Amino acid sequence: MDRTFVMVKPDGVQRGLVGEIVARFEDKGLKLVAARFEALPEKRVNDQYKEHLEKPFFPSLKKYIMGGPCFLMVWEGRNVVAIVRRVIGVTNPQEAAPGTIRGDFGIDIGRNVIHASDSPESAAREIAIHFKPAELCSYTRIDESIIYEY
């Protein structure tokens, strides 16, 4: 099975959306294998957003991400990166389809509720930034034989 990194950003946490977001992924049939609630330290924020370090919007992005607690997760499932990206919707909430997390809960691109890895390579990198291998749990969901064709 594949894994991906997902983070409910401070605006999603402040609005009490963590439970709704977790439920959407669980309802889809994905498996939560790690989770942590925390305020992110600066080094991990810089590592997470390294491709944006030199961009003009990075200082405000960093201030926003470090401005409150985040809920960090690792989800597992077949083709999980693409599935999660469809569930969360496109980056700009004004363009995100209704029924997606961003489409239902976001308005501004700078407060779009959630982050998710955009590729399997990004997922591996981001998981390693935020979680140690021992923090990832392996188990079988009781409904896996119904969710997947084997």
Task: Give catalytic residues, as residue numbers.
Answer: 115
Q: Bridge-partner residues for 46, per DSSP?
A: none
* Number of CB atoms found within 10 A of residue 8's CB: 26
Judged by DSSP in three states, 102 sits in helix
Backbone φ, ψ for residue 5 (5° rounding): -100, 135
Judged by DSSP in three states, 125 sits in helix
Is 141:77 a contact under the CB 8 Å cutoff?
A: no
